[in-house]
Structure 1
């Protein structure tokens, strides 16, 4: 199931080295971990989260329990998005999505871009045009893991 939301904005290609340096300089970073986060190399993702000194929200989805990353709060994904849009989104320099299923992430990103978030990043291995920064499509899992590792090394 795919959908499009009108708009001129499209994602810039995520450069791992540059993102690592940007997250290192950021004051407030929010990671949103969702149901497919167990597909990520957990040691690398944990390193990225810890080095960026990020706030972490996990969704209530089953897959998030398998990843050993300390959580600041657990909410449903739509509740997180609602809170970002209504009261707390502007306090974060970067909002980073990891493990949100592609078709849901498309809708979430489309909604977030309408509310003036500073930078929304997806670490998904599939390109998301509605993010500010997104990887290109990466069918090769090893290339994607190498890119995630490069982010961690540059924090």
Structure 2
């Protein structure tokens, strides 16, 4: 896994803004990581530059928060029921994204355990971001999410 500072790379997720999205306000404690002036302590990626991958993972640490972001190819589908179990199992400070499941496309917008999935039109990619004030177990969460591929 390669580590670079967020200042010399583009965060593929940033804040999720889609005019047709039901995500609502997407401001989060880590800020808009692709804008100048944001300071993160670390930004890790599992896909080296110049390689094609259908699964991209990034971690961010800054301003007292920890984040994990996934960017997946739109062909990657996740098991809907198991995904709900994963996403509703912990009351993270913020969970947001656009997800392709075996039941269609959904947006998620949860703050401190409140909120849920809403159906949405198909997207260009699957995105998921989890933000919390305490460190997150990146390896466990990534392995769990990978196990939901259908």
TM-score by length of 1: 0.32
Highest relative contact order (Cα 8 Å, sep 6+), 1 or 2? Answer: 1
* Structure (1 or 2) with the greater strand fraction: 2
TM-score calculated relative to the size of structure 2: 0.32
